[in-house]
Amino acid sequence: MHDDDILIGSLIEDSWLTLEQVAGACTVEPQWLLRHIEEGLFPHAESVAGTWRFSSGHLRRARRMREMERVFDAEPELAALVADLLEEIDDLRTELHRAGLK
């Protein structure tokens, strides 16, 4: 396996991941994730009793942002914008599917 390979897995929506788990799944240092949180690029990330908790959606967002930064040398803000747009597309596809239009 290459360093750039990202492991893909399924998460139960109600489970939470730690900062270290998300960083490991994205093959980045925890500091990368903390910098992005501090810059406001993970708007719904929450810290409970000093411990960061992340959902599967946060993991998906982190992977997308990391990929944009790595592949296209994108600035973090641009990577976050792309992640926002991809999330919106995912939401729209889900709505189309629910409406029986896709």
Rounded to an integer, what distance in angstroms lies between the CA atom of residue 102 and that of residue 99? 8
Rounded to an integer, what distance in angstroms lies between the CA atom of residue 33 and that of residue 39? 10
According to the model, what pLDDT value does residue 88 have? 97
Q: What pLDDT digit, counting tens, does each position of 4-60 carry?
A: 444 445 545 568 999 999 999 999 999 999 999 999 999 889 999 999 999 999 999
Domain-wise residue ranges, the chain: 19-98
pLDDT surpassing 60 at residue 67: yes
Rounded to an integer, what distance in angstroms lies between the CA atom of residue 72 and that of residue 31? 21
| pTM assigned to the model | 0.82
The Cβ-side half-sphere exposure at 63, using a 13 Å CA radius, reads 20
Query: DSSP H helical segments within 26-99, as ranges?
Result: 30-38, 56-72, 76-98
Residue length of the chain: 102
pLDDT surpassing 50 at residue 70: yes
